[in-house]
Amino acid sequence: MQTKVVKFGGSSLADAQHFRQVADIIKADPARRFVVPSAPGKRHKNDTKVTDMLYHCYEMIRNHENIDAFYEEIAERYNSIIRELGMNFDMSGELAYVKNAMLHASGRDYAASRGEYLNGIILAKYLGFDFVDAENVIFFRDNGSFDEERTNEVLADELRRHKNAVIPGFYGCMPNGTIKTFSRGGSDITGAIVARAVEADLYENWTDVSGFMMGDPRLLDNPPPIDTITYQELRELSYMGATVLHDESIFPVRYAGIPINIRNTNAPADKGTMIVSSAETYDTKRVITGLAGKKGFSVINIEKDRMNAEIGFGRRVLEILEDNGVSFEHLPSGIDTMSIVVATSALEGRRERILQSITRQVKADHVEILDGLCLIAVVGRGMVKARGTAARIFDAIYNAGVNIRMIDQGSSELNIIIGVNEEDYEKALVAIFNEFVK
């Protein structure tokens, strides 16, 4: 029999009605043996995700505020699900335990992780599946990085003993026994880790859209869905802000060659998007697979005459960034200029030090940091074969009256990255979309 791992996002588990839909989906296919839930998400546009409520609760405790009333609201998110599902199950003991642990300085990650922990307990009960706490099977190393080998060994061994199980997403355990979470949206990663451990035939990722669209549906007019996308293309897009799937969730499944299927909990008949290791064909008419963008970047511009002839120049500059704990995104460079694109947030508190170090250590003629850059990634495995793609992109942006501040084409010709001013983001995105898709 096939084995499928199914991950359900926050909006798919936001209330009792969604729990019913989720149970119907799981019960419709006996291959759906392992389930990874997120914490309850938004029930409507102005609602708050339980994860955000838990972060807030943690801050309240730090500020010595009384959390009784606010914690009641969190508890009610779960109690209302239990009540409306008509379950004979009392969660008050668990809820009191969690509150008490939060009050006794168990940490920010512990607080956040309880969103999926509590949801997982309810979902396991509702489905009649075993509950396997991620704390006992997902491990991090002392330096905070994910320990894939230890996790895979322990998790595979544990899940062999279960016909069906619910494993809460988003968190795991540090060597000292404390709880640590992945970054936001990290339940996608847990789903991929579980899929690898059970050698699943398919990792289904259920969310609130019918697959990956060519662009962000909140910014573009009816972007068409993508049928098939490669892991590599998807990583480029999700890293650049297409939040459907956490960009880190590719690694565990790619390693094992397990395809991912993005599906819509609210429209389970839609076939969604298949994410595969390689695809022979591409849409010859559209050429590009998708586009995504992200704000919040800065450029460090360095000018120095005859920079190109100076051996070790680039290394010394990058060493300065390394010493300051800053990683870079792109390095578009000329003969006498070097530009380094970094996340603006990474420069916080280090700007002056970095500027001074570069000026002093590499004797640059001029160094400056410019903020307010937005990066747009145009991604497509077909771009390498279709001539003139870059020209079409630049023309479209130019005709929209937008100034291009940076261009970077990956050597694999899988993507072209364009930097524009943040205020031009939507305009540039729409212009590229209209050129290729409309």
Contact of 131 with 153, CB cutoff 8 Å? no
Tell me which residue has tokens 């079409």.
392
Distance between CA atoms of residues 115 and 393, nearest Å: 42
Q: How far is the CB of 184 from ligand ADP (least distance, A)?
A: 9
Contact pattern for Mg ion over residues 1 through 40, marking x by CB under 5 A: --------x-------------------------------
Residues with Cβ within 8 Å of residue 215, at least 6 apart in sequence: 223, 242, 290, 291, 292, 429, 433, 437
Which uninterrupted H or E stretch holds 107? none
Residue placing its CB nearer to Mg ion in the complex, 208 or 303? 208
Question: Site residues for ligand ASP, window 165-184 (CB under 6 A)?
Answer: 169-170, 184
Residue placing its CB nearer to ligand ADP in the complex, 229 or 340? 229
DSSP secondary structure letter of residue 424: G
Tell me which residue has tokens 């544990």.
158
Residue placing its CB nearer to ligand ASP in the complex, 187 or 415? 187
Residue placing its CB nearer to Mg ion in the complex, 246 or 330? 246
By CB under 6 A, name the binding residues for ligand ADP.
9-12, 38, 41, 185, 207-209, 212-213, 215-218, 242-244
185 binds Mg ion (CB under 5 A): yes
Distance between CA atoms of residues 407 and 390, nearest Å: 10
- Phi then psi dihedrals of residue 261, to 5 deg: -120, 115
Distance between CA atoms of residues 117 and 387, nearest Å: 50
Task: Say which entry of ligand ASP, Mg ion, ligand ADP, none residue 39 contacts (CB below 5 to 8 A, set by partner kind).
Answer: ligand ASP
Question: Site residues for Mg ion, window 399-418 (CB under 5 A)?
Answer: none
**Distances from the Cα of 154 to the Cαs of 77, 78, 135, 231, 269, in angstroms?**
32, 30, 11, 26, 35
Question: Site residues for ligand ASP, window 110-129 (CB under 6 A)?
Answer: 115
Q: Which of 22, 39, 200, 362 binds ligand ASP (CB under 6 A)?
A: 39
Residue placing its CB nearer to Mg ion in the complex, 181 or 298? 181
Task: Say which entry of Mg ion, ligand ASP, ligand ADP, none residue 208 contacts (CB below 5 to 8 A, set by partner kind).
Answer: ligand ADP
Strands (E), 163-279: 165-166, 171-173, 179-181, 202-207, 228-230, 260-264, 273-276
Q: How far is the CB of 88 from Mg ion (least distance, A)?
A: 31
Residue placing its CB nearer to ligand ASP in the complex, 67 or 245? 245
Q: How far is the CB of 191 from ligand ASP (least distance, A)?
A: 9
Task: Say which entry of ligand ADP, Mg ion, ligand ASP, none residue 218 contacts (CB below 5 to 8 A, set by partner kind).
Answer: ligand ADP
Question: Which residue number has the CB closest to ligand ADP?
Answer: 9
Distance between CA atoms of residues 126 and 309, nearest Å: 68
